[in-house]
Chains A and B, each alone.
Chain A
Amino acid sequence: MTPPRQPYQNRMEILQGTLDMLILQILQWGPSHGYALSKAIRTNSGERLKADTGSLYPAMHRLERKGWIDAEWKDSELGPRLRVYRLTKSGRKQLVSERSRWVQITTAIAGIMNPAKRGSES
């Protein structure tokens, strides 16, 4: 017997290529570990977005390799050490450029999806 399917209506897939930006954005508020990051994405999107761990951890390791985020081990009261990530200087710069690209894309898409508005803007 197959398990009942999760209700989908309130969950959206994270748009391709935006996960990196989301991670950087969240880390801007302060250092965080992987679980907290995934929770932050969920809660801050009003439970609409969910970052799959299978994408989240690879993404964080990729960002670390690129030097945009740093990681260090912190002891926790719960037992296992936690790997805590923080934004680096170049990560901050990267976030700025990703954000401006995001704005461009959304404006462009909005322009297409809502052509009436376009006339009044020009």
Chain B
Amino acid sequence: MRLRFWTRTRRDNELQEEIQGHLTLAERDQMQSGQSRKEAHLAARRELGNETIVRETTRDMWAWRWIENLLQDVRYGLRMLRKNPGFTAVAVLTLALGIGANTAIFSLVDTVMLKMLPVQKPEELMVLAIADPKATGEPNPELTNPIWEQIRDQQDVFSGVFAWSQARFDLAQGGESHLVNGLEVSGDYFNTLGVHPAAGRLFVSSDDKRGCSGSAVLGFGFWQEHYGSAQNAIGSELSLSGHPFEVIGVAAPGFYGVDVGTKFDVAIPICAEAVIRGSGSALDVRAAWWISVVGRLKSGVSPEQVSARLLVISPQIFAATVPQKWRVESQKNFLSGILVASSAGKGLSDVRRAYDQPLRMLMAVVGLVLLIACANIASLMLARAATRQKEISVRLAIGASRARLILQLLTECVLLSSAGAVLGVLFARWGCAILVRFISSQRNPVFLQFSVDGRILGFTGAIAVLTGILFGILPALRSTKVSLSSAMKGGQQDEAPGRVHFRPGRWIVAGQVALSLVLVIVAGLFLRSFNNLLTLDTGFDRSNVMMIAANAHNTNLSPEARETLWNQAIQRLQSLPGVTSASESVITPISGLGWNSYFHRQTGASPSGRNALANINAVSPEYFATLRSPILAGRTFNVGDASGAPLVGVINEIMARRFFGSANPIGQYVYIDEISGKAGPLIQIIGIVKDAKYRTLREMTPATIFFPVAQLAAQDAQGMSEQPSFEVRTAAPPATIAKTAAEVFASLNGSISLSFRTLEEQVNDSLRQDQLLASLSGFFGGLALMLAVIGLYGVLAYMVTQRRKEIGIRMALGAEKGSILRLIMGEVSILLAAGVAAGVGIALWATHYLQKMLFNLDARDAKTILMAVAILTSVALLAGYLPARRAARMDPNAILRDE
């Protein structure tokens, strides 16, 4: 008998009947040749041979034979797992964490980097970009509207071509803003992509004609949320940033736009940009880069042919669109550009660009975590295999083949990992939602459409099977390689082979120590890098500052009236209870926005090249006090620095050093080197302010110059004061001021739209990626550490039980408790030392890939590595000490009596 647990199928009964028939006929023949019934029966059976083997080998011919074997193994495996609920629970949970983390990160990778757009034949789409033949950088996919119009009219390689730009529209008409994600699209956007309407109609070419009135197409989700999917939404009026738009249709569900990571709510034709921006429209501005262009390949045209054709038409397109105000040099540069096309089947994505490296890194980290989890279960299985030795020997002895047993053990492992995978997919869904919330911010909401599609399930399934085989193969091979006689004899094995026997388990633990050390080092690097960012001296105090972004676009006020209104607003904000000070600026710190120009000294040598570039901000006199950026020399602005007065500026320390060296800049003059080549008006330096970060925390603090907002007109930058920001420093938490501040603006003019955000939120939003990396690598590093320690503890505890007899004899022969402790801890130290050495080696080799993601920290930072080693070693020694102490406290008499 081979230990088989047959369920008798109909087919089986039939086979038995068939063979029975054979026997009956044979018996009859034997009896006809003159034998007795009994002799005939025996002769027939003898001739047939072993009936069971005949049946087995015949069954093997049936196609579903292997499935039956598998089902049988599965049933057997389930029974074994049920018998060890503790082991099963630990293993499944460990695997669920490992597989779940991998599935979550892979879903993110899949959604952001791998998935094709859900449109017709996405592989035919090509995105256009401008390549600078001299520069080595990436081609720039942002084009101007005049360039787009040229491409639209001149290209002959695409069956369709369309353009779009992302925008935010304000649904509110004054008061606090209600921003939605907008798209400005060309007429052929939807039909080139092959998107159908869910209701009404979508844009056609004729909707996108200069001077168009406003029409809008809604995203399906927006239609559901804001209109309850009502049909009468079509034809209704929607206010976008204060302008009426007619809703003409709704795009099909499942279409979110071409930018992966965002979801559009409302789309308007590009021509309607003029309706929203009025005189500030960029439709005819030759130096405003805001449009992306994608074409669909004509059938039979190859991407190479497209590139060749684009090379031919590029000169005439750029000649027709060169910004005439630019100086000659820049114009020449512009004219030498060439249009290039690259695949756009996966859509465009800022999220992809920003998270490409972090996602790869995280994928590697979760892969390592899973590997450690596998190692853990492998060592648990090895320990368990020893207790199952008897069962396995019996099965081998009664004729089970080794291959069959290995297959059976592996089935058990794959069952475990599959259970882990099922639970892991649940973890992953939950993890994905958390991850997206992590990388999403108020200003850049990230929308990712996760679907549990075939690819994700395939990935998870493959991981589950691979994992199962990975942690199962070694235990299966080892436990089936037994000497039958010694195992059958029973009980424990002899000491010497016992030691040898467990060697692979120990090396697994050393490997685990190495891998988890790598993850702890990675975690340490990201945590320290994040800490460097958090504790960085930004040059301003971000606590307790509410920022109010105001937009006077719909007020129809003259620039002068606007300025008066803003001044009144500052006055009233300052007199509010709980407000320490209030100011106005055109740009807020760490907003990601910038304004810069080349500056020159009136006399003396100016810095050359990019060193002459300085960031600009225009602020009210109280700005520095509100942000607590100290004035180091000279003075800040005052009411005297009005629009008619001589132009003045405050510079930061870096600009002072770069432009004036050791000389005193106060009283000196600088001027802007206008892009048209004409020198700007002279600006007198009146003060020096402490260095502060401008666009991001990670940047090298740039040279910065501040102008008074009152003098913006004289700087030819009056448009900047249409959407200023007000900073309010409060004594109490800044959120408390939002309501009263909104009332202040409402009392001045009801059409001003407002949005509120604290400076702290703005700074923290800029650190999303670093926070994500620090949190996740910290989490996984901790997990890895925990798994490694559990593995180490398990192996040592098992080793102590295995070596009970040896320890007992040693003690009986006079070994001190201390020497037993030293014996076990010696083993631990060898494992640890090997693991740590390997781990540090891997880390030194691998972490330089992380350098770009670290802030102010060397990827091979010795302090971080030492800290990681110290943490790991101390935890591991503790894990080793517990079983060692138990060994030392054993009573030799009791042990030897047992044996």
Contacts and interface: CB of A to CB of B under 8 A. Distances in A.
B846 interface: no
Contact of B24 (A53, A58, A80): A80
Contacts of B21: 33-35, 76, 80-83
Contact of A52 (B29, B49, B61): B49
A57 B47 CA distance: 14
Given A34-B18, A53-B49, A57-B19, A79 B63 contact: no
A36 B21 CA distance: 11
Given A33-B21, A53-B49, A53-B54, A83 B61 contact: no
A35 B62 contact: no
B50 interface: yes
Interface in A19-64: 33-36, 38-39, 52-55, 57-58, 61-62
Contacts of A38: 22
A5 interface: no
A58 B14 contact: no
Contacts of A39: 29
B63 A65 contact: yes
B60 A58 contact: yes
B456 to A, nearest CB: 37
A62 B65 CA distance: 12
Interface residues of B, number: 25
Contacts of B29: 39
A78 interface: yes
Contacts of B50: 54
A10 to B, nearest CB: 16
Contacts of A36: 25
Given A53-B49, A81-B17, A65 B28 contact: no
Contacts of B60: 58
Interface bin, chain A? 20 to 34
B602 interface: no
Interface in B49-108: 49-50, 53-54, 57-58, 60-63
The winner among A36, A62, A76, A80 for most chain B CB atoms within 10 A is: A80
The winner among B29, B48, B49, B61 for most chain A CB atoms within 10 A is: B61
Contacts of B63: 65
Contacts of A58: 57-58, 60-61
Contacts of B61: 58, 61-62, 65
The winner among B19, B21, B60, B63 for most chain A CB atoms within 10 A is: B21
Contacts of B26: 35
Interface string B32-49: 000000000000000111
Given A57-B54, A65-B63, A78-B25, A83 B14 contact: yes
A83 B53 contact: no
Contact of A54 (B24, B57, B62): B57
B281 interface: no
Contact of B62 (A55, A65, A78): A65
A53 B22 CA distance: 9
A67 to B, nearest CB: 12
A111 B63 CA distance: 40
B20 interface: yes
B28 A80 contact: no
A32 B448 CA distance: 67
A77 to B, nearest CB: 10
Contacts of A79: 24
B62 A80 contact: no
Contacts of B62: 61, 65
A91 to B, nearest CB: 16
The winner among A52, A55, A61 for most chain B CB atoms within 10 A is: A61
Nearest to A54: B54
A58 B24 CA distance: 19
The winner among B17, B50, B58 for most chain A CB atoms within 10 A is: B58
A83 B18 contact: yes
B479 to A, nearest CB: 32
B17 A53 contact: no
Contacts of A57: 15, 18-19, 54, 57-58
Interface in B149-202: none
Given A53-B48, A53-B49, A83-B14, A61 B24 contact: no
Interface in B387-440: none
A38 B44 CA distance: 13
B18 A54 contact: no
A18 to B, nearest CB: 18
B393 to A, nearest CB: 29
A36 B57 CA distance: 20
A40 to B, nearest CB: 13
A84 B97 CA distance: 57
Nearest to B44: A35
B807 to A, nearest CB: 53
A58 B18 CA distance: 12
A34 to B, nearest CB: 5
A83 B24 CA distance: 13
Contacts of A81: 17, 21
Contacts of A78: 24-25, 28
A62 B53 CA distance: 16
Interface in B710-769: none
Interface string B219-243: 0000000000000000000000000
A76 B15 CA distance: 17
Interface string A81-105: 1110000000000000000000000
Nearest to A80: B21
Nearest to B51: A53
A38 B19 CA distance: 12
Contacts of B58: 57-58, 61
The winner among A35, A55, A58 for most chain B CB atoms within 10 A is: A35
15 contacts: A34-B22, A53-B19, A54-B54, A57-B18, A57-B19, A57-B57, A58-B57, A58-B58, A58-B61, A61-B58, A65-B61, A78-B24, A78-B28, A79-B24, A81-B21
Interface of A: 33-36, 38-39, 52-55, 57-58, 61-62, 65, 76, 78-83
Given A54-B49, A80-B24, A82-B18, 5 more contacts: A53-B19, A54-B53, A54-B54, A80-B20, A83-B21
Q: Across chains A and B, which 7 residue pairs bring their CB atoms closest together, nearest first?
A: A35-B25, A61-B61, A57-B58, A83-B18, A62-B61, A80-B21, A35-B22
